[in-house]
Chain A
Protein backbone atom coordinates (compact mmCIF):
# COMPACT_ATOMS: atom_id res chain seq x y z
CA UNK A 1 0.00 0.00 0.00
CA UNK A 2 1.36 3.36 -0.95
CA UNK A 3 0.29 6.88 -0.21
CA UNK A 4 -0.86 7.26 -3.81
CA UNK A 5 -3.33 4.41 -3.45
CA UNK A 6 -4.90 6.18 -0.51
CA UNK A 7 -5.11 9.40 -2.50
CA UNK A 8 -6.80 7.56 -5.35
CA UNK A 9 -9.20 5.90 -2.94
CA UNK A 10 -10.13 9.21 -1.30
CA UNK A 11 -10.59 10.94 -4.64
CA UNK A 12 -12.81 8.09 -5.82
CA UNK A 13 -15.02 8.44 -2.73
CA UNK A 14 -15.38 12.17 -3.33
CA UNK A 15 -16.13 11.90 -7.03
CA UNK A 16 -18.16 8.74 -7.41
CA UNK A 17 -21.35 8.42 -5.39
CA UNK A 18 -21.73 4.75 -6.30
CA UNK A 19 -18.33 3.93 -4.85
CA UNK A 20 -19.19 6.03 -1.81
CA UNK A 21 -22.40 4.08 -1.42
CA UNK A 22 -20.55 0.77 -1.73
CA UNK A 23 -18.20 1.82 1.10
CA UNK A 24 -21.20 3.02 3.13
CA UNK A 25 -22.95 -0.34 2.88
CA UNK A 26 -19.82 -2.19 4.00
CA UNK A 27 -19.50 0.18 6.97
CA UNK A 28 -23.10 -0.21 8.09
CA UNK A 29 -23.16 -3.97 7.48
CA UNK A 30 -19.79 -5.29 8.68
CA UNK A 31 -19.03 -8.59 7.01
CA UNK A 32 -21.91 -8.06 4.60
CA UNK A 33 -21.83 -7.82 0.85
CA UNK A 34 -22.77 -5.05 -1.55
CA UNK A 35 -24.79 -6.30 -4.50
CA UNK A 36 -24.70 -3.74 -7.30
CA UNK A 37 -27.77 -3.46 -9.47
CA UNK A 38 -29.14 -1.15 -12.15
CA UNK A 39 -31.69 0.41 -9.78
CA UNK A 40 -28.86 1.55 -7.49
CA UNK A 41 -27.05 3.07 -10.46
CA UNK A 42 -30.25 4.85 -11.51
CA UNK A 43 -30.84 6.31 -8.02
CA UNK A 44 -27.20 7.33 -7.71
CA UNK A 45 -27.39 9.12 -11.05
CA UNK A 46 -30.60 10.93 -10.09
CA UNK A 47 -29.16 12.01 -6.74
CA UNK A 48 -26.03 13.29 -8.43
CA UNK A 49 -28.26 15.34 -10.70
CA UNK A 50 -30.04 16.66 -7.60
CA UNK A 51 -26.74 17.50 -5.91
CA UNK A 52 -25.68 19.47 -8.95
CA UNK A 53 -28.98 21.36 -8.95
CA UNK A 54 -30.33 19.86 -12.17
CA UNK A 55 -33.16 18.08 -10.33
CA UNK A 56 -35.20 20.04 -7.79
CA UNK A 57 -37.82 17.44 -6.93
CA UNK A 58 -37.29 13.72 -6.93
CA UNK A 59 -39.56 10.85 -5.96
CA UNK A 60 -38.08 7.41 -5.37
CA UNK A 61 -40.51 4.51 -5.12
CA UNK A 62 -39.09 1.08 -4.39
CA UNK A 63 -40.15 -2.13 -2.66
CA UNK A 64 -38.84 -2.66 0.87
CA UNK A 65 -35.23 -3.80 1.41
CA UNK A 66 -33.87 -2.24 -1.77
CA UNK A 67 -31.50 0.23 -0.06
CA UNK A 68 -33.62 3.30 -0.65
CA UNK A 69 -33.23 4.57 2.92
CA UNK A 70 -29.52 3.82 3.13
CA UNK A 71 -28.99 5.58 -0.19
CA UNK A 72 -31.22 8.62 0.26
CA UNK A 73 -31.34 9.20 4.04
CA UNK A 74 -27.89 8.08 5.12
CA UNK A 75 -25.31 8.03 2.33
CA UNK A 76 -26.57 10.96 0.31
CA UNK A 77 -26.72 13.50 3.21
CA UNK A 78 -23.20 12.44 4.21
CA UNK A 79 -22.00 12.86 0.62
CA UNK A 80 -23.70 16.27 0.39
CA UNK A 81 -22.22 17.56 3.63
CA UNK A 82 -18.84 16.13 2.70
CA UNK A 83 -18.82 18.31 -0.40
CA UNK A 84 -20.49 21.30 1.21
CA UNK A 85 -20.56 21.39 5.03
CA UNK A 86 -22.88 24.42 4.85
CA UNK A 87 -25.84 22.40 3.56
CA UNK A 88 -28.86 22.28 5.85
CA UNK A 89 -30.58 18.95 5.52
CA UNK A 90 -33.82 17.91 7.18
CA UNK A 91 -34.83 14.26 7.10
CA UNK A 92 -38.43 13.34 7.89
CA UNK A 93 -39.80 9.84 8.58
CA UNK A 94 -43.09 8.49 9.90
CA UNK A 95 -41.86 7.89 13.41
CA UNK A 96 -39.14 8.88 15.82
CA UNK A 97 -37.70 5.36 15.92
CA UNK A 98 -37.09 5.24 12.18
CA UNK A 99 -35.73 8.79 12.07
CA UNK A 100 -33.39 7.98 14.98
CA UNK A 101 -32.22 4.79 13.27
CA UNK A 102 -31.31 6.67 10.10
CA UNK A 103 -29.61 9.36 12.19
CA UNK A 104 -27.59 6.72 14.01
CA UNK A 105 -26.43 5.17 10.72
CA UNK A 106 -25.56 8.64 9.44
CA UNK A 107 -23.45 9.35 12.53
CA UNK A 108 -21.64 6.00 12.19
CA UNK A 109 -20.80 6.98 8.65
CA UNK A 110 -19.44 10.46 9.24
CA UNK A 111 -17.42 9.32 12.25
CA UNK A 112 -15.73 6.57 10.25
CA UNK A 113 -12.04 7.04 9.54
CA UNK A 114 -12.43 6.59 5.77
CA UNK A 115 -15.09 9.32 5.60
CA UNK A 116 -13.01 11.76 7.61
CA UNK A 117 -9.97 11.04 5.45
CA UNK A 118 -11.91 11.60 2.22
CA UNK A 119 -13.79 14.74 3.30
CA UNK A 120 -11.32 16.74 5.34
CA UNK A 121 -13.26 19.98 5.02
CA UNK A 122 -16.32 18.44 6.69
CA UNK A 123 -15.74 18.72 10.42
CA UNK A 124 -18.27 17.86 13.06
CA UNK A 125 -19.03 20.63 15.53
CA UNK A 126 -21.78 18.83 17.47
CA UNK A 127 -23.19 15.37 17.17
CA UNK A 128 -26.36 14.48 19.07
CA UNK A 129 -28.90 11.70 18.73
CA UNK A 130 -31.05 13.30 16.04
CA UNK A 131 -28.87 16.07 14.68
CA UNK A 132 -25.34 16.71 13.57
CA UNK A 133 -23.92 20.19 13.08
CA UNK A 134 -20.79 20.95 11.07
CA UNK A 135 -18.27 23.64 11.87
CA UNK A 136 -19.66 25.51 8.83
CA UNK A 137 -23.12 25.70 10.43
CA UNK A 138 -24.57 23.06 8.15
CA UNK A 139 -26.53 20.21 9.64
CA UNK A 140 -28.54 17.08 9.20
CA UNK A 141 -31.58 17.09 11.42
CA UNK A 142 -33.86 14.07 11.79
CA UNK A 143 -37.48 14.46 12.70
CA UNK A 144 -40.83 12.77 12.29
CA UNK A 145 -44.00 13.69 10.43
CA UNK A 146 -46.02 16.17 12.44
CA UNK A 147 -43.12 17.32 14.59
CA UNK A 148 -42.54 21.06 14.78
CA UNK A 149 -40.05 22.38 12.25
CA UNK A 150 -40.70 26.06 12.84
CA UNK A 151 -37.43 27.96 12.91
CA UNK A 152 -35.44 25.19 11.24
CA UNK A 153 -34.97 26.26 7.67
CA UNK A 154 -33.43 23.77 5.32
CA UNK A 155 -31.92 23.58 1.85
CA UNK A 156 -32.63 19.91 1.35
CA UNK A 157 -35.64 17.98 2.59
CA UNK A 158 -35.60 14.20 2.52
CA UNK A 159 -38.95 12.61 3.25
CA UNK A 160 -38.35 8.93 3.74
CA UNK A 161 -41.36 6.73 4.48
CA UNK A 162 -43.68 9.38 5.94
CA UNK A 163 -46.24 6.71 6.78
CA UNK A 164 -46.21 3.14 8.03
CA UNK A 165 -47.02 0.40 5.48
CA UNK A 166 -50.20 -0.43 7.41
CA UNK A 167 -51.38 3.16 6.93
CA UNK A 168 -50.87 3.01 3.17
CA UNK A 169 -54.62 2.85 2.50
CA UNK A 170 -55.60 5.50 5.04
CA UNK A 171 -57.05 8.37 3.05
CA UNK A 172 -57.13 10.86 5.98
CA UNK A 173 -53.51 10.16 6.81
CA UNK A 174 -52.40 10.48 3.20
CA UNK A 175 -54.29 13.79 2.95
CA UNK A 176 -52.64 14.97 6.15
CA UNK A 177 -49.15 14.05 4.97
CA UNK A 178 -49.72 15.55 1.53
CA UNK A 179 -50.94 18.74 3.18
CA UNK A 180 -47.91 19.03 5.43
CA UNK A 181 -45.56 18.36 2.51
CA UNK A 182 -47.28 21.03 0.49
CA UNK A 183 -46.75 23.47 3.35
CA UNK A 184 -43.09 22.48 3.53
CA UNK A 185 -42.47 22.81 -0.19
CA UNK A 186 -44.91 25.34 -1.60
CA UNK A 187 -44.08 24.76 -5.24
CA UNK A 188 -42.40 27.70 -6.85
CA UNK A 189 -42.86 29.92 -3.82
CA UNK A 190 -39.57 28.92 -2.26
CA UNK A 191 -37.13 31.48 -1.06
CA UNK A 192 -34.25 29.02 -1.24
CA UNK A 193 -33.56 26.15 -3.54
CA UNK A 194 -35.09 23.15 -1.89
CA UNK A 195 -35.22 19.56 -2.95
CA UNK A 196 -37.25 16.71 -1.64
CA UNK A 197 -36.80 12.99 -1.96
CA UNK A 198 -39.86 10.93 -1.37
CA UNK A 199 -40.34 7.21 -1.07
CA UNK A 200 -43.88 6.66 0.04
CA UNK A 201 -47.33 5.52 -0.91
CA UNK A 202 -48.51 9.09 -0.37
CA UNK A 203 -46.63 9.83 -3.57
CA UNK A 204 -49.55 8.49 -5.57
CA UNK A 205 -51.59 11.48 -4.46
CA UNK A 206 -48.78 13.93 -5.12
CA UNK A 207 -47.74 13.06 -8.64
Chain B
Protein backbone atom coordinates (compact mmCIF):
# COMPACT_ATOMS: atom_id res chain seq x y z
CA UNK B 1 0.00 0.00 0.00
CA UNK B 2 2.71 2.39 1.08
CA UNK B 3 4.90 1.37 -1.87
CA UNK B 4 2.18 1.95 -4.49
CA UNK B 5 1.39 5.34 -2.92
CA UNK B 6 5.08 6.21 -3.20
CA UNK B 7 5.20 5.12 -6.87
CA UNK B 8 2.16 7.21 -7.72
CA UNK B 9 3.84 10.21 -6.11
CA UNK B 10 7.07 9.64 -8.07
CA UNK B 11 5.04 9.38 -11.27
CA UNK B 12 3.18 12.58 -10.31
CA UNK B 13 6.48 14.36 -9.70
CA UNK B 14 7.77 12.98 -12.99
CA UNK B 15 4.72 14.34 -14.86
CA UNK B 16 5.17 17.68 -13.13
CA UNK B 17 8.83 17.77 -14.16
CA UNK B 18 7.88 16.91 -17.72
CA UNK B 19 5.20 19.60 -17.87
CA UNK B 20 6.96 22.45 -16.11
CA UNK B 21 10.64 22.00 -16.98
CA UNK B 22 11.41 19.44 -19.66
CA UNK B 23 8.73 20.58 -22.13
CA UNK B 24 10.45 23.97 -22.29
CA UNK B 25 13.74 22.43 -23.41
CA UNK B 26 14.01 21.66 -27.09
CA UNK B 27 15.40 18.25 -27.98
CA UNK B 28 16.02 15.08 -25.98
CA UNK B 29 19.77 15.57 -25.92
CA UNK B 30 19.40 18.97 -24.24
CA UNK B 31 16.93 17.39 -21.79
CA UNK B 32 19.44 14.63 -21.05
CA UNK B 33 22.22 17.15 -20.38
CA UNK B 34 19.89 19.20 -18.20
CA UNK B 35 18.83 16.16 -16.15
CA UNK B 36 22.41 14.99 -15.74
CA UNK B 37 23.31 18.47 -14.47
CA UNK B 38 20.77 18.12 -11.64
CA UNK B 39 22.83 15.21 -10.27
CA UNK B 40 25.48 15.85 -7.64
CA UNK B 41 28.88 14.57 -8.82
CA UNK B 42 29.87 13.41 -5.35
CA UNK B 43 26.72 11.79 -4.06
CA UNK B 44 24.98 10.85 -7.32
CA UNK B 45 21.74 12.30 -5.89
CA UNK B 46 19.51 14.46 -8.04
CA UNK B 47 18.20 17.78 -6.85
CA UNK B 48 15.67 20.27 -8.18
CA UNK B 49 14.50 23.09 -5.90
CA UNK B 50 11.07 23.62 -7.46
CA UNK B 51 10.25 19.93 -7.63
CA UNK B 52 11.51 19.34 -4.08
CA UNK B 53 9.30 22.19 -2.85
CA UNK B 54 6.19 20.75 -4.54
CA UNK B 55 6.97 17.16 -3.57
CA UNK B 56 9.47 15.82 -1.06
CA UNK B 57 13.26 15.92 -1.65
CA UNK B 58 13.46 12.10 -2.03
CA UNK B 59 10.46 12.01 -4.37
CA UNK B 60 11.97 14.79 -6.49
CA UNK B 61 15.27 12.89 -6.57
CA UNK B 62 13.54 9.69 -7.72
CA UNK B 63 11.48 11.52 -10.35
CA UNK B 64 14.61 13.17 -11.77
CA UNK B 65 16.40 9.84 -11.84
CA UNK B 66 13.44 8.22 -13.60
CA UNK B 67 13.30 11.01 -16.19
CA UNK B 68 17.05 10.77 -16.72
CA UNK B 69 16.91 7.02 -17.37
CA UNK B 70 13.88 7.25 -19.66
CA UNK B 71 15.37 10.00 -21.80
CA UNK B 72 18.72 8.26 -21.90
CA UNK B 73 17.21 5.01 -23.18
CA UNK B 74 15.18 6.96 -25.75
CA UNK B 75 18.29 8.68 -27.13
CA UNK B 76 20.40 5.52 -27.02
CA UNK B 77 17.79 3.72 -29.11
CA UNK B 78 17.91 6.43 -31.83
CA UNK B 79 19.41 5.65 -35.20
CA UNK B 80 22.65 7.43 -36.02
CA UNK B 81 20.81 9.73 -38.42
CA UNK B 82 18.33 10.73 -35.70
CA UNK B 83 21.14 11.33 -33.24
CA UNK B 84 22.92 13.61 -35.72
CA UNK B 85 19.69 15.66 -35.87
CA UNK B 86 19.51 15.72 -32.06
CA UNK B 87 23.09 16.98 -31.75
CA UNK B 88 22.42 19.52 -34.49
CA UNK B 89 19.36 20.78 -32.59
CA UNK B 90 21.39 20.97 -29.39
CA UNK B 91 24.16 22.94 -31.09
CA UNK B 92 21.80 25.36 -32.78
CA UNK B 93 19.88 26.05 -29.56
CA UNK B 94 23.08 26.66 -27.59
CA UNK B 95 24.02 30.24 -26.71
CA UNK B 96 27.69 29.58 -27.39
CA UNK B 97 29.18 29.46 -30.86
CA UNK B 98 28.30 26.27 -32.70
CA UNK B 99 31.90 25.70 -33.74
CA UNK B 100 33.20 26.16 -30.21
CA UNK B 101 30.67 23.72 -28.67
CA UNK B 102 31.43 21.17 -31.37
CA UNK B 103 35.15 21.39 -30.71
CA UNK B 104 34.80 21.18 -26.93
CA UNK B 105 32.41 18.25 -27.18
CA UNK B 106 34.86 16.37 -29.38
CA UNK B 107 37.78 17.08 -27.07
CA UNK B 108 36.25 16.74 -23.61
CA UNK B 109 33.44 14.32 -24.42
CA UNK B 110 31.15 15.83 -21.74
CA UNK B 111 28.29 13.58 -22.87
CA UNK B 112 29.97 10.76 -20.95
CA UNK B 113 28.85 12.46 -17.74
CA UNK B 114 25.27 12.29 -18.98
CA UNK B 115 25.07 8.53 -18.41
CA UNK B 116 22.69 7.45 -15.65
CA UNK B 117 24.09 5.28 -12.86
CA UNK B 118 24.04 1.48 -13.35
CA UNK B 119 22.99 1.66 -16.93
CA UNK B 120 23.63 -1.37 -19.14
CA UNK B 121 27.27 -1.21 -20.27
CA UNK B 122 26.59 -2.11 -23.91
CA UNK B 123 23.88 0.55 -24.17
CA UNK B 124 26.14 3.14 -22.54
CA UNK B 125 28.88 2.26 -25.03
CA UNK B 126 26.41 2.50 -27.93
CA UNK B 127 25.34 5.98 -26.81
CA UNK B 128 28.93 7.22 -26.37
CA UNK B 129 29.99 5.71 -29.67
CA UNK B 130 27.04 7.13 -31.64
CA UNK B 131 27.49 10.59 -30.12
CA UNK B 132 31.17 10.52 -31.08
CA UNK B 133 30.15 9.61 -34.65
CA UNK B 134 27.42 12.25 -34.77
CA UNK B 135 29.95 14.90 -33.74
CA UNK B 136 32.42 13.73 -36.39
CA UNK B 137 29.68 13.87 -39.04
CA UNK B 138 28.65 17.41 -38.03
CA UNK B 139 32.28 18.53 -37.93
CA UNK B 140 32.77 17.24 -41.45
CA UNK B 141 29.62 18.97 -42.66
CA UNK B 142 30.85 22.20 -41.12
CA UNK B 143 34.25 21.87 -42.80
CA UNK B 144 32.58 21.19 -46.15
CA UNK B 145 30.36 24.24 -45.73
CA UNK B 146 33.38 26.39 -44.89
CA UNK B 147 35.23 25.08 -47.95
CA UNK B 148 32.18 25.77 -50.12
CA UNK B 149 31.99 29.33 -48.85
CA UNK B 150 35.69 29.89 -49.49
CA UNK B 151 35.39 28.51 -53.01
CA UNK B 152 32.45 30.81 -53.83
Q: Do A and B bind each other?
A: no
Interfacial residues, chain B to chain A (CB-CB below 8 A): none
